[in-house]
Structure 1
Amino acid sequence: MRKSVIVLSIIVLLLPIWTGCVQKRILEELGLVVVVGYDPAEKDRIKGTALLHQIDPAAKEKVQVVVTNANTSKGLRNAQNREVSKRVVSGQLRVAIYNEKLARNGIITLADTLSRDSVISDTIFLTVSRGSTENIITHRFPEISNIGTYLHKMLRQNIQGEQISSCTLHEFIHDVYSVGKDPVLPVIERIGDQILLNHTVLFRNDKMVGELSTDEAFVLKLIRDRYKAGSLEISLDAEPFRQLKPGFQGNKVDIVIENISSSSQIKLADPSIPSFSIRIKMNVRIQEVSTDLKLGEKKVIRAFESEISKEFVRRIQKLIAKTQAVQSDPIGFGEVYHSKVRHSNLTDEKWREMYPNAKVQVDIKTVMVRSGVVE
């Protein structure tokens, strides 16, 4: 009995050592992928560019870039391991970039592979590049030491600042496989030593079919999400303000609205057409005006509220027409239709035929909460 107790005690003492040996991972021996880019290569192959972060005090460079070709993303990983001295791992992946040409042909196989990798977070950001992703990742930026970390922070702060819609891997995969809704992704572009984030691309399922300007992407987010904070410069028709300011010259009034808080509601009005109604309520502050108007007067405030509402109705109708022309539904009207019409048996193919003929009534109520600076 005493002998058994001694043996058991030895096993208990050695167990943490054995466990530690199994789970031990030496960071100095790993190449941590921070950002990966995909470009089309010859013979329908894929060119992969990965930036590896090295945790090694002895290393002269803290990052290493590896460019390889393969037929699949897993093939790229195997090729990367054959070209570096450290084992490549994806647990720190933050951003995946897809070349615009690749995005036009479909990227679901590449994105789906990422989502199935248990070590990769589904909160990584996906983007589309204007031009080669290799040209972005391999470039030596004088003010940026790690382009992967920089891109992640850049995308995160623009999402938090509500300048662009969220673009995580989880959201992209969800919208691709969801009947009646299509994904959108931001576009990054390198010009010299600058990285620009100016556009948003429309997808039909997983294929890029169109593009939105910054202002159009703002309007899309206004419909899809709730704003808590935001900023936008817009031009209003000057005619309603001529009566408020005698001698007013010019055809437009330029204003900057900030601190936008909004809520939107989409309803199915008539399933036979189909027709929808969008109701949006916005609270805004006018930060700057290009002409001298007395923002303390109620009639001036009412004029601004009315004209801001009209301008956004116009922009929303223009945006919807643009998405209908390319048969892409980033707003999710199809999801609303599918959830409200029983036994609709809605499919992607059926909704692609219905959506271009859909009618949308837009109603916006704008409330000016306070005014800011007059130019």
Structure 2
Amino acid sequence: MKKWLILFCCLLCTACVPPEKILERQGISTIIGYDLLDKDTYKGSISLLQFDRKEEKTSETISAVGTTSKQIRQRLEQQTSHDITSGQLRTILFDKNISEMIGISSFLDTMQRDSSIGSLIFLAITNNTEEVIKNNNYEEYPEMGSYIYQLLDKQERKELLINSNLHDFSSTLYEIGIDPTLPIISNKNGAAPYIEKVALLKDDKMVGSISLTKTLFIKLFTNRRASLGDITLNIPLEVLEKKGIQLVEKPKGDKFNITIRPIKHRGSIELSKEDEVKLNATISVSTIEVQPAITLNNKKSIKKLEQLLGEELSKELGDFLEELRKLNTDPIGIGRKIKSIRKYSNLSDKDLREKYSSLKLKSTIKVEIKRTGAVD
């Protein structure tokens, strides 16, 4: 009786084993992109790694047209003898037309339902996803999916990108009072793709863009542990003269150029009045390059430079906040801060946006120079 029971259990277990996957028959997708053709039709492009010894190329790019991502996937399968697998999918690209006109949340909902797709895959926007995936101008990475992944992964490790993976983006997207951002990849003839800007989104639609360096103003108030990156300021020499900062060499131009490296930072958002929000921040920095050279050998000269840098950064932050307010997008999370106050805890996303668009935003950045000339 025991023998029959053991035999039955063995047969039952083997019935539960998933179907065998032979490597040579797999087409491993590393990147997929979606382009809008018209109101209801999309083109999906995918890069596949293949390990069949009979094939000369180790990767191929195929495209298909459909009205949903599932239909596109089905038509992509019809174009290859390999079984398309998503277990190594690392990046999803959207063209600007989808990002601006349609929104990307419907595509992400489908991705999140697929158990084979991880939540740490990267998301990015570009002008034409098919052209990016078919780009072969970078010999070190002939398979573009691997190159784009390495490109985005490097910037995320350096903390220059904000919520650029599926998990972080979705968390921000569905939280009331804050909007997500995504990297924009540029693809020019004769050059490898690169990260050109960062897209500003209102809900799941792109409404504008900023340079990578301006993301420091977002990180300043959203992540105290994030790296702000080196900050370069170009200040007219006449401003230095007004501040009483002395040059120690003859200038070659009409600008004072300085690069500072943040050591630590802290930022706060306060609702000071019904219609006024104050954003205050302090950045401790080291000066790593100064052109032309100035006197920094006493506390008085350092204090003057700290004041000058603080004023310049405060002005840039003020202009940045005004740009965000005009676009009615809130990647800093001012609305989230307002909603955290009991009086406004019941406000909906629509109510917060209306309040945000009419707010008076006052900003101040204080700079503290901790080191002069030290570079790690």
Q: TM-score, normalising length from structure 2?
A: 0.90
Q: Match for 1:200: what amino acid?
A: V
2:222 equivalent among 214, 221, 224: 224
Q: 1:336 deviation in Å? A: 0.9
1:115 equivalent among 112, 117, 137: 112
CA contact 1:33–1:53 (8 Å) conserved in 2: yes
Confirm or deny that 1:347 pairs with 2:357.
Answer: no
Residues 61-84 of structure 1: CA deviation (Å, up to 9, x unaligned): 111111000001111111111111
List alignment gaps of at least 5 residues for structure 2.
none
CA contact 1:230–1:261 (8 Å) conserved in 2: no
Q: Which residue does 1:185 correspond to in 2?
A: 182
CA distance in 1, matches of 2:37, 2:183: 23
Confirm or deny that 1:168 pairs with 2:165.
Answer: yes
Q: Which residue does 1:268 correspond to in 2?
A: 271
Q: 1:269 deviation in Å? A: 2.3
Q: Match for 1:51: what amino acid?
A: S
CA distance in 2, matches of 1:259, 1:56: 50
Q: Which residue does 1:323 correspond to in 2?
A: 324
Equivalenced residue count is 367
Q: Which residue does 1:136 correspond to in 2?
A: 132
Q: What SS does the corresponding residue of 2:340 show, helix, strand or coil?
A: helix
CA distance in 2, matches of 1:18, 1:75: 30
Q: 1:334 deviation in Å? A: 0.8
Residues 189-229 of structure 1: CA deviation (Å, up to 9, x unaligned): 11122212121111111111111123322322333222346
Q: Which residue does 2:195 correspond to in 1?
A: 197
Q: 1:140 deviation in Å? A: 1.8
CA contact 1:66–1:83 (8 Å) conserved in 2: yes
Q: 1:360 deviation in Å? A: 2.4
1:80 equivalent among 59, 76, 79: 76
Q: What SS does the corresponding residue of 1:164 show, helix, strand or coil?
A: coil
CA distance in 2, matches of 1:57, 1:301: 66
Which stretch shows the higher mean deviation, 359-368 or 34-43? 359-368
Q: Match for 1:312: what amino acid?
A: L
Q: Say if 1:154 and 1:251 are closer, same or farther in 2 by CA, change over 3 A.
A: same
Q: 1:16 deviation in Å? A: 6.4
Q: Which residue does 1:256 correspond to in 2?
A: 259
CA contact 1:236–1:308 (8 Å) conserved in 2: no
Q: 1:173 deviation in Å? A: 1.9
Q: What does 1:227-306 align with in structure 2 at a 5 Å threshold?
A: 227-228=226-227, 230-239=229-238, 241-242=240-241, 243-245=244-246, 251-270=254-273, 272-273=274-275, 275-306=276-307
Residues 43-64 of structure 1: CA deviation (Å, up to 9, x unaligned): 5201000111123344321111
Q: Which residue does 2:155 correspond to in 1?
A: 158
Q: Match for 2:84: what amino acid?
A: V
Residues 22-58 of structure 1: CA deviation (Å, up to 9, x unaligned): 3533232221211111101145201000111123344
Q: Match for 2:120: what amino acid?
A: T
CA distance in 1, matches of 2:104, 2:347: 24
CA distance in 1, matches of 2:345, 2:369: 42
Q: Say if 1:371 and 1:23 are closer, same or farther in 2 by CA, change over 3 A.
A: farther
CA distance in 1, matches of 2:51, 2:298: 62
CA distance in 2, matches of 1:229, 1:212: 15
Q: What SS does the corresponding residue of 2:266 show, helix, strand or coil?
A: strand
Q: Which residue does 2:43 correspond to in 1?
A: 47
Q: Say if 1:193 and 1:58 are closer, same or farther in 2 by CA, change over 3 A.
A: same
Q: Match for 1:224: what amino acid?
A: T
CA distance in 2, matches of 1:246, 1:56: 66
CA distance in 2, matches of 1:186, 1:43: 24
Residues 219-244 of structure 1: CA deviation (Å, up to 9, x unaligned): 22333222346212112354464333
Q: 1:93 deviation in Å? A: 1.0
Q: What does 1:301-316 align with in structure 2 at a 5 Å threshold?
A: 301-316=302-317
Which stretch shows the higher mean deviation, 248-257 or 299-308? 248-257
CA-atom RMSD in angstroms = 2.3
CA distance in 2, matches of 1:23, 1:286: 60
2:123 equivalent among 119, 122, 126: 126
Residues 2-22 of structure 1: CA deviation (Å, up to 9, x unaligned): xx1333444566676555x43
Q: What SS does the corresponding residue of 2:302 show, helix, strand or coil?
A: helix
Q: What does 1:9-20 align with in structure 2 at a 5 Å threshold?
A: 9-11=6-8
CA distance in 1, matches of 2:278, 2:98: 36
